[in-house]
Structure formats: C-alpha cells, structure tokens
Structure 1
Amino acid sequence: MERLRAVKINLRELLIGTLLMGLSLLLPMVVHVDNFGIYPMLFSALSHQEKTDVVYAALRLVALNSIRSLPHYLGAYLIGESMDFAYREKTIRWLRLLIVCVMIPPVYFLIEKIYHIRYDFGGPAILLIALLVILEKIDFSLINISKKMLMLVMLIASVQFLDVMPALEGLPVGGGEVSTDIRRIAFFLEADGFLQFEATLLFFLLFVGALLFCKLIMDENDLKLLSELKEQNERMRTEKYIQMLEERTLQELRNLVHDLKTPLTAAQALVGVVKMNQLRTDPPDAQSCEYLTRVEASMEHMSVMISEILYENRRASVTTQRLVTALLSQISNTPYGRVVRAENEVPELRVWINEVRMLRALANVLQNAYCAMDKEEQQIFLRVSAGQDRDGQRMIQFDVIDNGRGMDAELLHYVWADGFSTRGSSGLGLNFVQQVVQNNNGTVEIKSTPGEGTVVTIQLPESGVEG
C-alpha cells in the first residue's frame, strides 16, 4: 500500500530548527521594549525637538523586532528544509512549504497568551512567510547551514524596516503600538521624510544584499552539484575502464591457460603410456610405477591449479586433512618448511573454499612468520580446530603461531595495507591473505607482542553451514 513517507531527514537541521522554535517562546522574557530604551529616546526627541532621535528609536525597534523574529522564522525554515517527503515515489515539495506556513502563526498566538505581548501579524510577517516559501523551493541541500542562516537574517532584518516607514501609513504594515508611536512622533516633528529616506535606504541595502547572497549560494550549490556529477561520471568511467582491463586480462589468462594445458595434457598422456608399459613388463617395475603415479598426481594437481587461476570464485568442499597435507607438501622444499609443525584436531571436517588461492594465502602467512624470526630456535606452529564466530556459526579455525620478534601496535595498524612489508619485500603480503579469506566468507585477525611472537587466526565457515 502506497503511503506518504519521509525520504530524507537532516537531523542536525531538524534539531537546530526545533531549538530555535523553543527559543522564540522564551525570548520575550528577556528581550522586550524596555531593554532597548525606545520610549526614553522618543521622549528625548519630543523634549529637544531632535529628529535624529526618532531615527535612532526606529533603528532600535528594528533591532528588537529582528531579534524577536529570528528564532521562529529561522526555526520554521530549517525544520521545513530538513525533511523531504514522497508519495508513490514522487517528491512532495509542497508539504515542506505547508510546514513553514503553519508553524509561524501559532508562535504569535502563544506569545500573546503567555506574556500578554502582541506581536503584530501584518504585512511584514506575511511577506516573510512568502519569502520563506519561495526559498523552500530552491535547492540549498549542499550549502552550509551557517550561510543559509546569514541569508535569512539579512532578509528578516530588511523586512522589519517596513514597520517604521511613514509612507506606508494606512497599509497593513507597522500595526504594533511602538511602531505606530514612532511614525506619529515623526509626523509631529516633521521628521517623516528623513525617517522614510533612512528606512528605505537600509531596507534596500539589506534586501538587495540578501538577494545577491541568495544568488551567490545558489551558484555555489549548482557548482557543488556539478562537481558531484563530474566525480560520479569519473567513477563510472574508471569502473568501466577497470572492467575492460579485467575482461582483457581474463581473456589473456584464458589464452595462457590454454597454452599451458596443451603441453601438460600431452605430458600426462605420455606418462600414462609409460606407466602402462611398465605395468606390462614381467615382473612390473614397482618403484618406477610408484614414481610415475606420483608424477601423474603432481601433473593432475598442476592442471587443477592452472584451471582455477581463471575461476577465483570457484568453491569446493575440502577436508582440513587434505588442505593441511597439500599445504605441507607445497612448502616442503622451502626454507620455512622444516620449522613448521602442524596439528589438525578436526581432520574430517570440511571447508567451502577455493583451494588453490587458500593454499597460497596460508603459505604466505607461514612465509611471513618465518621472515619475522631471527632467533636460533625458530618455531612455527599451525593448529587447526573447530570454533564459532560471534554469531554462533560453526567455523574452522587456523592458527599460525610463531616465536618471532613480534610487532608493536603502530605496525599492526598498517599490516593490512596493500604493499606493506617490514622487510622491504614486494611480495603478496597480508593484504592478499585478507582478500582471499574474505572472498571465502571468512575472517582473519592478527595479534602480536613485541619480542614474543605473532598469532594469525583465520576462521572459515564449515562446509554444510556455508555453501
């Protein structure tokens, strides 16, 4: 069922707007006519027949009205700006405009009921609401909130000058008691022309300034939007280029695999023929047959490895016994193969992995452990056990424990970075290990103590639970 819903809520703007609306109800307790000394200034104007005092009183009233108006107009605008609504996947912008229109009049009503102070809801108030409605239609989503507030402050202050313009006498403007008194005294002292000039000048300066600033931040918003679109297009082009390179690399790998497997297949056939001939001899040469069987197994394993180069996401259910045996066989001729001791507590359990890449990852961890040891008694311990992850899922855990020099916390922070090495090597590194483990739905962690050694823990889902 389709329904109206909020598709975007800017919590920061919503919170600031709500606080400002609350502030507007508290402000009359501390900000009122007596604080600004308006009537003493008017009495001085009458006593000394001083026209400039009338202008000063008008400026003080404009300042008072601006301060009193700012919280609820700013608050209403920010609350409306903070939300976007949609109905049937179409944005409903008029709802934001409605929020602005309905939030301001109740503030005037509540202030009059609470403090018995009547804020004149006349022409300037209606004009400000209309301006806020227009501004709500403009997209300022990428503009800093402080810039939007500065624009609104200039607009609100400019409109307050309409209340003290003698030329607007008789219009629904300046209906408040204080503004009416200022205009009457201006007429009495024949200062109405001077007051009208000053009020008009300041109105236009602030209003035009607000419009220019509005145009400026509109252009800034458009530039930021264009910049985002440009970055998005650049990302799309980069992704497309990377995809093209990957496809080309994959095609080259296919050709390479074909070139490698053709002579390998021929060699497998020849080994098979030689083995058959050995079996036909009387008596068969048992030792030669055993060697040929090993050669066949090695060539078959090589064929599988070559094929799986192309299929990074290929998975199979493999027993931990097979994985550990293949790993020890793979590293048997390496310098670190002689110091590795393995203990498999769960040889019958299975993991769902890409065997070739996981073997490379485990061998890489063992090689890193060996390179981190500078002691005479070098020990690398590989332990395979059953465990659980944080969600209670059954996992197979591979712990590689060494008694090397260890790493401090600063080095541990960088071990997963691409190309990181403590020995100046350009090998695959732990970044490769992390990628392989994560691609096989596992996790990898490393703990290390300087001077004592390092423990690398790899957890992989047990086959039958994952896959």
Structure 2
Amino acid sequence: MALILLGISMPHWLSSKNVGLGILMDIMEENPHGNTLLIMAFSIVMLNTIRALPFYIGAIMLGNALGEKLQRNWLRLAIPLAVIPLTYAIINLSIKSNYHFGIPAVIILLCIILVQLLEKGRLGLFMKSLILVQILFGVQWLDEVPFLTRYGFGHGAISTKVKKWAIEIGFDQALSLYAIVLCSIFLINAFILMGFLVRWRIVQELHIIKLEALEARSDKEVLYLVHDLKTPLASIEGLISLIGLYNKHERTKEYCRSISLSISSMSEMISEILYKSHKSCCSLKSLVDYTLSSRLSGTDKKVNLELPDQPETIKIWVNKIRMTRAIVNLINNAFDAIEGCPEGKVTIKAKTYGNQILLGVSDNGKGMNEEEQKKIWKAGYSTKYQSGIGLSFVHQVVEEHKGTVSIESKIGQGTTIWIHLAGGNNDEDFSY
C-alpha cells in the first residue's frame, strides 16, 4: 500500500521539469535536431518507468499477499488488474496533466499476468522487480513510435510533441526503429531472465524432492533392518531364559536376569523406532539425558540445562526415540545459529504449567525476522545451503504427540523453539 501511495504522489514532485525535459523542449523549439529528439525520448521513457514502477510493484505485492493470506490464487492476478487502472484514475484526478492509461499500460498488465502465471510464486520480490523494470522500460518505448499513435500509443502531451517534431524534421523512421529495437531487446531479455530464474528454482525444488525421497528410502531401509533385529533378540532371550532355568549358580542367574532386562529395553527401543504411535512414560530427566548422550557423544560441545526442580519426578508420555530425534534437530540448528559467535551457547530449557510441559532449545545467535519464522516449518526451506527437512520433521513429531510448537526470536538476541507436551507426575495422569 505504501508503494502504491508513493506511485500516486510521484507525479506531483517528479515532473518533466525536474528531469530537464523543459530545457530540451526549448532547445528543440530553437534548433530541432535528431540527437536532441532521441535524448528527449529516452528521458520521457525513463521518467515514465520510474514513476510507474512503485505502484506496479505495490499492486503485485498486494495481490500476492492477499492471495496467500486468503488462499485464493486468482487474487494474484485480479488485484493488479484492478489496482493499476484505479491508480491511473486517481493520479488523473489529482493532477492537471493527463496521465494516460493507453495500450502500453494494457500490454504491461498482460505481461504481468503472464509472468505471474509462469513463475507460480517461485520468484522473490527482487527478481520480480528486476523483470518488471525491463518490461516497463521496454513497453514504454512504444509510446515514442510515430506510426503507432493512431492505435492508442503515446497520447501524452510530451510524447505527442516528440513524435510531431520527428515527423517535421524527417526523423520519424529513425525514431520508430530506435524505439522498436529497444522495446524488443528489453522484453526479450525480461522473459529470458524469467525463464532462467524459474528453471533454476524448479531445479532447486527437484533437488529438495530427491533429498526427501532419499531420506524416506533410507528410513525405510533402516526400519527393515531394525525389524530384522527382533528375530535374533527373541532367540537370545529364549536361550538366556533356558540358561537361567538349568543353571543353579546364583551369580549366573543374576547375569541372565541383567541380560534379559537389557534385551527387553532394546526390544522397547526397537518398537519405538518401528511404530510412530508407540509411546511410553518416561521422566523429563531421562529424556534430556538420553537426548544429550545421543547428540553430544564423541564431541566436545556443551549444552546448558535450565530444568525445573526434581526433573526425575516429571513424567512425559512420548515415543522416546522420535522425540529425541526431534530435539536433536533443534540442537543442531541452534549450534548452526551460534557458529562463529565466541560467546555462543545452546540451552535446553523446560517449564511446567499444570499438566503441560514446555521443552525448549535456545541459542543466543543472530535470531530470525518474522518472515523467516513463518517459513522455517515448510519442508525444503532453509537459511543455509541444506535440504531444510529438519524442522518440518520436528513439527511432524510434535503433532504425532498431540502437541504444538512455538517460536520466540529476535534479531541479534537469539531464538528459542518450544515444544508443548502433556505431562504429569505419574502414569495415571495420562488418559491416552
């Protein structure tokens, strides 16, 4: 909206006199010359492009924002089609000169629609602006072609004078050729650039899809392998039981019981890996300890802890393996955020509110702006040159636990991502 308002105000303070067109017109009156005429034509096109650019970009941004917010893709096309002609009308009501909405403006609108249809939300604002500048600059040259006047081109006061002078001094064909060549160059370049950028984005998307497919395949192969482990474990457990039955030595029986407990624990872990819905009750302390041993084993990195008193008494109903993987992903992101910070630190935090537990991973890194905070949960999004799969996995795991995720982040102060889960003090607190 600000850009649209800027575009409406620009003709009031950026007029033809401000860019020296008045001086050039006086020169043409006294000594008509083709070179002066070309300079005038170039100045008019540049002035019209600069004045039109803000409200064209503003209309596109408004359409994209409303289309995304309301989940209506057709608004990405409808808003510019409505706003741009309306802006011309408002400008004409506010100034004396005729801010002509002619065939070039219609062509530009058609080009915008074509760009929106072809890029399908793949290009950012900067790239769209770069393409739009070239379209505006190229199409505006058609206003300076004398023989196109009868078809609705160049009815503005200055453009009309330029074409009149060109005909009077016999420079109309040269001006037409010059304008058409420049128009063609900039339009072709705009669409080649758009094609290249869209293709580059498609290649990136395909790369992300391949990474996700590769990860899914790897996970499936691991699941098959883990499933196969159950058979030898069952055999070992059976043999240990037989040894305990036939051996009367108390020390041997004790060893057999310890081995049997270890096998049961391993079998429980395998069940958690194999089945997402498999959950068990564990203490907050055991979950944090298991996470730290999984992430920090074999490294010299340190994670600070801010846990409530007696964390061993706080119980959580979780799939321990999958929740650990989710928290480890958050820890990895936190270490990435403090990379290069001499005083960077990563902290695991926990809070309790009644039967709800908030488990968070915090860093004091660079932080994120609001736009990044909205995008981080989408599969494929990453602020680094990585696949961007980790945080979408975290969101998936938390949803499996009927929990939610929230984020607190400020630029220059760091980020904390909170996992909200149901908790309790004993097994009876969990109804599911």
- Which of 239, 256, 263 is 1:259 aligned to? 239
Deviations 1:188-216 (A, max 9, x none): 22221221121112111111111211221
Matching residue's letter, 1:24: G
- Which of 76, 80, 85 is 1:105 aligned to? 85
Deviations 1:135-180 (A, max 9, x none): 1112353434322211111011101001111121211111111111
- Matching of residue 71 in structure 1 with residue 34 in structure 2: no
Q: How do 1:17-96 residues align onto structure 2 when only pairs under 5 Å count?
A: 18-82=1-65, 84=67, 92-96=72-76
**Change in CA separation of 1:302 and 1:224 when aligned onto 2, cut-off 3 Å:** closer
2:149 maps to 169
| 8 Å Cα contact 1:315-1:352 kept in structure 2 | no
**Change in CA separation of 1:220 and 1:83 when aligned onto 2, cut-off 3 Å:** farther
Tell me the distance in 2 between the aligned counterparts of 1:266 and 1:149: 82
- What is the CA-CA distance between 1:98 and the residue it aligns to? 1.0
**Change in CA separation of 1:186 and 1:149 when aligned onto 2, cut-off 3 Å:** same
1:392 maps to 354
Q: How do 1:59-458 residues align onto structure 2 when only pairs under 5 Å count?
A: 59-82=42-65, 84=67, 92-267=72-247, 270=248, 303-312=260-269, 389-393=351-355
| 8 Å Cα contact 1:161-1:202 kept in structure 2 | yes
- What is the CA-CA distance between 1:262 and the residue it aligns to? 2.6
- What is the CA-CA distance between 1:127 and the residue it aligns to? 0.8
Matching residue's letter, 2:264: S
Q: Which moved more, 1:301-310 or 1:242-251?
A: 301-310
Deviations 1:275-332 (A, max 9, x none): xxxxxxxxxxxxxxxxx7x99788656644433331236888899xxxxxxxxxxxxx
Deviations 1:354-386 (A, max 9, x none): 9xx9xxxxxxxxxxxxxxxxxxxxxxxxxxxxx
| 8 Å Cα contact 2:88-2:101 kept in structure 1 | yes
Matching residue's letter, 2:146: P
Tell me the distance in 2 between the aligned counterparts of 1:318 and 1:69: 63
Tell me the distance in 2 between the aligned counterparts of 1:20 and 1:104: 12
Name the SS for the 1:390 alignment partner: strand
- TM-score, length of structure 1 as denominator length: 0.57
| 8 Å Cα contact 1:316-1:353 kept in structure 2 | yes
**Change in CA separation of 1:67 and 1:259 when aligned onto 2, cut-off 3 Å:** same
Tell me the distance in 2 between the aligned counterparts of 1:389 and 1:219: 47
Matching residue's letter, 1:49: P
- What is the CA-CA distance between 1:261 and the residue it aligns to? 2.5
Tell me the distance in 1 between the aligned counterparts of 2:239 and 2:103: 86
Name the SS for the 1:119 alignment partner: coil
Matching residue's letter, 1:462: N
Matching residue's letter, 2:17: D
| 8 Å Cα contact 1:93-1:137 kept in structure 2 | no
Tell me the distance in 2 between the aligned counterparts of 1:462 and 1:83: 47
| 8 Å Cα contact 1:63-1:157 kept in structure 2 | yes
**Change in CA separation of 1:264 and 1:182 when aligned onto 2, cut-off 3 Å:** same
Point out where structure 1 has 5 or more consecutive residues left out of the alignment: 1-17, 272-291, 320-344, 358-387, 396-408, 411-438, 442-459
**Change in CA separation of 1:235 and 1:309 when aligned onto 2, cut-off 3 Å:** closer
1:462 maps to 425
Name the SS for the 1:244 alignment partner: helix
Tell me the distance in 1 between the aligned counterparts of 2:208 and 2:60: 26
Tell me the distance in 2 between the aligned counterparts of 1:318 and 1:98: 54
Tell me the distance in 1 between the aligned counterparts of 2:231 and 2:103: 74
**Change in CA separation of 1:299 and 1:258 when aligned onto 2, cut-off 3 Å:** closer
Could you say which structure has the higher helix fraction?
A: 2
- Aligned-pair identity in percent equals 20
Tell me the distance in 2 between the aligned counterparts of 1:352 and 1:161: 69
Matching residue's letter, 1:262: L
**Change in CA separation of 1:295 and 1:232 when aligned onto 2, cut-off 3 Å:** closer
Tell me the distance in 1 between the aligned counterparts of 2:134 and 2:430: 62
Tell me the distance in 2 between the aligned counterparts of 1:219 and 1:197: 33
Name the SS for the 1:170 alignment partner: helix
| 8 Å Cα contact 1:20-1:71 kept in structure 2 | yes
Coordinate RMSD, CA, aligned: 3.7
Name the SS for the 2:119 alignment partner: coil
**Change in CA separation of 1:149 and 1:389 when aligned onto 2, cut-off 3 Å:** closer
